[in-house]
Structure 1
């Protein structure tokens, strides 16, 4: 099928005579006859008038033909040439955008996986601190550790009584902290309403805390990497012309 044959077919479908269509386009019927028989190619103005009279678009017309006919014959019409150039430019823009997006996915996947694997952003090593009990106002921060040294000169009964009192005051509390705060530190007791009641926490060792976010980062990194690679691999198929 040719351009003239296609547009003649559309005219017949609309039940329009050649004379009626020529009058609507503002041309001679003899010229329209040449166009429909492909003895002449329309100018941009005539083609626009022709398509407007038949109520169809240039995109629709081009889609009906083999690319070789469009490139070899229809491209001689300036408006068709401009349309094809724009389509090619748009195709290249989309292709570049696709490749840039896929490349960014791959680039982003590496640091995400690295952060999850090394646990740099969300460390899983924590520090355990234990407080033996609550310090009363005015007591030395190390009172629970050193109280027996303060009563070394007392009688055995007095030391026994003091030991019982300290045993009654024992109220261990454990903190798991992501950062190392040294061998010991003293802060207000969380369970006391009076800020003068304190707790001294002593480091007791390191503990491992599983943080699901690190696994999520690794999985996301792998997902983005695979997605980016697949996108690059199938780019030619998606954008083949």
Structure 2
């Protein structure tokens, strides 16, 4: 929209004739006619006077005018220069917001994909660990695996007879073997130990099974991450186009 078109739009919006508006602006009707027909442009003082007498802000008046007109023929008017500067800063702020939001969305997308791949929120497997009993201080770690062999070695060495060996094995199995099973969604390796009051337990990986619901959840999370990443990249493209269009 040209300057004259905007001035005429304001006049017709108020249902004024040219003489009536010329009287309000305290200018000649012929001069108003030239302004409305874009045969001349107002000086800085006249533009300021028009704004004051019409009780309209510079931003409201200039918002509909052609950008090329503002940047060429009207740019020397202080109100126009201020408006152009504020408009540019506003566009820069919007573009920065696009850039920040796009980067944040990309980061969320990458984080979601990483979380799905590493099973941070949903483990795809259940790990089952078993411990035969409490290993007392001073006993070897494999005492529960080799207690029969130890008794047989005592039998072979003549330390125990067969009855004593069987009794020792029976007492060990009845008093010491206390199996404990622990299931977790964390991979703790092939074995780990846990302290107890009298010693410690040695847990050994016994079984690993897939958790179907977790697999599905991680796939959805990975898909969501991919969508967020795509949206973030699209935001960067939009930001680049806006910067090229508005800040050229």
Q: Which bin holds the TM-score, normalised by the shorter protein?
A: 0.5 to 0.7
Q: Which residue of 30, 33, 38 maps to 1:37?
A: 33
In 2, Cα distance between equivalents of 1:136 and 1:102: 58
Show CA shifts across 1:140-198 (max 9, x none): 65443343314733233333333332332322113456344x8664621xxxxxx22x3
Aligned length: 223
After superposition, the Cα gap between the structure-2 partners of 1:135 and 1:101, relative to the gap in structure 1 and judged at 3 Å, is closer
Structure 2 residue 169 is matched with structure 1 residue 163: yes
Give the 5 Å matches for 1:121-136.
129-135=129-135
After superposition, the Cα gap between the structure-2 partners of 1:185 and 1:65, relative to the gap in structure 1 and judged at 3 Å, is closer
Per the normalisation by structure 1, the TM-score is 0.63
Show CA shifts across 1:87-144 (max 9, x none): 2343245335524643564466456535643x29788788764321235677665443
In 2, Cα distance between equivalents of 1:115 and 1:103: 18
- Structure 1's unaligned 5+ residue stretches are 23-28, 189-194
Per the normalisation by structure 2, the TM-score is 0.61
1:8 is aligned to 11
After superposition, the Cα gap between the structure-2 partners of 1:44 and 1:140, relative to the gap in structure 1 and judged at 3 Å, is same
Contact 1:127–1:203 at 8 Å: present in 2 too?
Answer: no
- Aligned-residue CA RMSD in angstroms? 4.4
- Structure 2's unaligned 5+ residue stretches are none
Contact 2:102–2:232 at 8 Å: present in 1 too?
Answer: yes
Contact 1:4–1:35 at 8 Å: present in 2 too?
Answer: no
